[in-house]
Structure 1
Amino acid sequence: MVKPDNDKLNQVIAESRRASEERGQGYRERALKMYPHICGRCAREFNRANLHELTVHHRDHNHDNNPADGSNWELLCLYCHDNEHQRQLEAQRGNTASAGPARETATYNPFADLKSMLDKDK
């Protein structure tokens, strides 16, 4: 049985995280300079105190697609960003509102003959 080299594994993970953070800071800073500090979905405004709650969403969901003009970016608050990714996951699984068999509408009307029943008691 081959024993994994934990030091090497930890180093690879640390380098990967650092590279991801550097990449993220680059496009985040550019997006914050380019766009107003407003969520693109709920229109919540952000200032210095809560700017950390404003995220950069990649419209095509590819974090490596960062064109200089920012056309693949959208500023979203944490909540709207999470909702966007949840919607994408559900769509991939086929859990959309329009998916699934159509349900039949109810046709039974319990009060259809109420008038005749009331008139019968008189």
Structure 2
Amino acid sequence: MSIGKPPLDNAKLDRIVAEARRASEQRELGYRERALKMYPWICGRCAREFTRANLPELTVHHRNHDHDFNPADGSNWELLCVYCHDNEHSRHIDHVRGAGYDDAKPAPATGNPFADLKSLLNRKGDH
């Protein structure tokens, strides 16, 4: 008889995952509904306007990237279209990973594209 881990209770795991998803959806609906009432339905980056027909394409972006920080005054939210929202998160990921190019110094130029220009011009005048 081997001593091992107890068998997984898949039903319990499924309940836990389902409950976590419901809680997340409820939190999202809460701040999304509040943000849509608080702000005009316009993307904060590209200024695209939204109506009820295309409202699902307007997302709530958390400015500090903390989805659990939802102050009642909406100061951590901005409405962005799905394209600008994806772009903002890509930029944030690049920044966190250190892909910012602000600190990188380009190598100095070593070639001179006009180094032989005078001789080329003189040769052309000889013909």
Q: Residues 34-91 of structure 1, C-alpha deviation per residue, up to 9 Å, x if partnerless? A: 1000000111111111100000011111111111111111001111111111111111
Give the TM-score of the pair, scaled to structure 1. 0.90
Q: Report the CA distance between 1:120 and its aligned residue.
A: 4.2
Q: Which residues of structure 2 form unaligned runs of 5+?
A: none
Q: Which has the larger radius of gyration?
A: 2
Q: Report the CA distance between 1:4 and its aligned residue.
A: 1.2
User: What residue is the counterpart of 2:50 in the other structure?
Assistant: 46
Quick one: which amino acid aligns to residue 92 of structure 1?
V
> Does 1:103 pair with 2:117?
no
User: What residue is the counterpart of 2:40 in the other structure?
Assistant: 36
Residues 1-122 of structure 1 correspond to what in structure 2 (within 5 A)? Answer: 1-2=4-5, 3-100=7-104, 102-120=105-123, 122=126
Quick one: which amino acid aligns to residue 47 of structure 1?
T
Give the TM-score of the pair, scaled to structure 2. 0.87
Give the number of aligned pairs.
121
SS at match of 1:76: strand
Moved over 2 A (4+): 110-113, 115-118
Compute the RMSD of aligned alpha carbons: 1.5
